[in-house]
Structure 1
């Protein structure tokens, strides 16, 4: 049976909407799934993806673990499915100011801290880690560096550009008005249009707006939310199958190329296919089965650490490995790098949770002030006595 989720009308006052949102059952397992995706990316970067920090190829240092962890490179695709589910859930029945404020306050505070911390590391503490400039670091603070064709300070930021574009599409949907029928059409036409542009080599600007090969993941997550919200029905399941097929069409050849270039291993296309389907299946398991009823509160802090860990782990972890690898056992070094990444993520989260809520309230209030109609003072007309014609002064 699907979870009962209250549908909020756009006309519902903000306070009532917030109260109803808080009353929704929390999917604790989704917090755990998000953390597992981030942890998988960390393991992939430290034990399989090419780098010089170990003094040898990571795949040679961890031949067994690396052969498995290379498939964890699909962590971002899992994030995208989760994002489609969660962002639709939080946007349904909300208005544009709420959605904009919540997304900006969610993305930017932790991101700014991560960019600054990683830039300090690469500019002054460990300049051999990556050659960046102060200008590149400053542009990265906007999160729009891809738009300006400026390099990412940290390669993991590429996913944020994808997420940001999805948020813009969601804001447009919220402005239009979210209904079940509109969402079904959207999840049918949007990924197909993106695929057509990809196949035909259409304009880059169009591919960018449509999220090119990543559209099926977000659409699939949205369809899974519809199934969770409204119960099983043929249309969303068929559309979900379509989006899974499109994801397979794009992801398997792309990952075959990327993993062959970035690791010492040769990936198995069948495993890549199963992992791609698994991104959708994992969210379906959490949202549509009895797993949704888990009440493991210890998963909540893991979910809270997910975004900070993803943002901060790569170069700070590589720096720790570079310092320790010549002097300690590889497993001790790996544990130390993971421990440092977790500690930094925890510190980043402490700042994020204090800055995010007031930032969200401030942005929301500011946007609502902009939406208020300007009151035009009532014009008073002078009374003219009968029989007297009003004439302009000479």
Structure 2
């Protein structure tokens, strides 16, 4: 979803990776996977043959909080997009974003479409015409059926990229411009919420804006931990973000509710997400500099793309057809999706991403 993170360039030396942020990205993706496999009802019940609440009678309630991994992703995205856009011209920024998102996304759309079209797979595939539209990443605003359930988050990401590019990257990234962008977007999103105007909601994303803005503020903290404006941006992002998370995700207990999500639990997860990125921004996790975290970060995006629908296919095969236990199925399915992500990273992203980036940036490869 976002680029592998790198430290801000404070000296003339090449920046080093923020490996802890790589690890946090994979943790957020695993949270979402736990939600899709065991923290919700609906379609996933067909994969298990019964409600996941019966498969995981104790933990399904905790898995239900895994959907908040998306909010953590958005905070990380705000941090990394601000970092990657700093000192970069618009053309280079666009090339970097497109090359990062598209190769694995195209491969995932084609792969899921092909698997769902197999006679032995008991899931309904989208129409061929809709599958082709999905390759543009514009299926949601066009009202077309989605191939990938998680692609709604990519639509939010794309809108954030566009806002940041037009308001900050195009005129040139400076601290003052970033601060004004965060303040202006926060105010405009609040106005959009009050106006209840669909077009404003579509552009300004009031329910997601605080997380992106909070992440941008945390990157300013990373550059200067004594910056009061940066801390103010982070605080306002957290305050408003937890409000939207509770409003959208709180579930009262009841016989028809899959799992009760308390307001305290939601606020706690959102807070921990902000604190984790803040700890990385402040350098408190600098010792987490293990190479395997870089590998984990590389797997995150392709894993996130394929894990949901293909995971249900694997769950059905392992649990209903082979009779494996719920926990063995859960573990093996997660492992299989990580392995598939590794293959997509190795054979799709690594060869295609630099080529697409160079082509879009107008650079010739030697």
Query: By the TM > 0.5 criterion, same fold?
Result: yes
* Cα offsets for 1:46-72 (capped at 9, x unmatched): 112222211111122102221111111
- Contact 2:68 2:269 survives alignment (8 Å): yes
Instruction: Name the CA distance, whole Å, in 2 between partners of 1:261 and 1:109.
Output: 43
Matches within 5 A, 1:67-106: 67-106=61-100
Post-superposition offset of 1:246 = 1.0
Partner secondary structure for residue 261 of structure 2: coil
Q: In the alignment, is the contact (CA less than 8 A) between 1:112 and 1:141 conserved in 2?
A: yes
Gap change, CA 1:126 and 1:85, over 3 Å in 2: farther
Superposed displacement of residue 271, structure 1: 0.8
Q: Does 1:362 align with 2:359?
A: yes
Calculate the TM-score normalised by the size of structure 2. Answer: 0.91
Q: CA deviation at 1:239?
A: 2.1
Paired residues for 1:285-300 under 5 Å: 285-300=279-294
CA change 1:104–1:320 in 2 (3 A) is same
The reply to whether residue 141 of structure 1 matches residue 135 of structure 2 is yes
Specify whether residues 321 and 339 from structure 1 end up closer, same or farther in structure 2 by C-alpha distance, changes over 3 A only.
same
In structure 1, distance between residues paired with 2:190 and 2:162: 19
Larger displacement relative to structure 2 (29-38 or 281-290): 281-290
Task: Give the C-alpha shift of residue 294 in structure 1.
Answer: 2.9
Query: What residue number does 1:336 align with?
Result: 332
Contact 1:305 1:345 (C-alpha < 8 Å) held by counterparts: yes
Match of 2:8 in 1: 5
Shift of 1:192: 2.4
* SS of corresponding position for 1:124: coil
More off after superposition, 31-40 vs 232-241? 232-241
Once the two structures are TM-superposed, the CA of residue 260 in structure 1 deviates from its matched residue by: 8.4
1:174-193 correspondence to structure 2 within 5 Å: 174-193=169-188
**Aligned pair partner of 1:213 in 207, 212, 217:** 207
Rounded to whole Å, the distance in 1 between the matches of 2:141 and 2:254 is 28
Secondary structure of the structure 2 residue equivalent to 1:292: coil
Q: Point out the more displaced range, 159-168 or 192-201.
A: 192-201
1:319 maps to: 313
Distance 2:25 2:87 in 1: 24
Match of 2:235 in 1: 241
1:271 aligns with 2:274: no
Map of 2:3 onto structure 1: none
Show the counterpart of 1:232. 226
TM-score, normalised to structure 1, is 0.84
Specify whether residues 263 and 297 from structure 1 end up closer, same or farther in structure 2 by C-alpha distance, changes over 3 A only: farther
Cα deviation, residue 263, structure 1: 6.1
Rg larger for: 1
Alpha carbons of structure 1 residues 228 and 125: separation in structure 2 relative to 1, 3 Å:
farther
Please tell me whether the aligned partners of residues 28 and 300 of structure 1 are also in contact (alpha carbons under 8 angstroms).
Answer: yes
Say what the alpha-carbon RMSD is for the aligned residues: 2.3
SS of residue matched to 2:170: helix
The offset of 1:336, in angstroms, is 2.1
Residues 1:200 and 2:203 aligned together: no
Question: Unaligned regions of 5+ residues in structure 1, if any?
Answer: 9-19, 368-394
How far did residue 212 of structure 1 move? 2.7
Residue by residue, what CA displacement relative to the aligned partner does 1:151-208 show, whole Å, maximum 9, x if unpaired?
Answer: 2112111110011111111221211121111211211120221122123312x22221
Deviation at 1:366, TM superposition (A): 6.8
Whether the aligned pair in 1 keeps the contact of 2:139 and 2:145 (CA below 8 Å) is yes
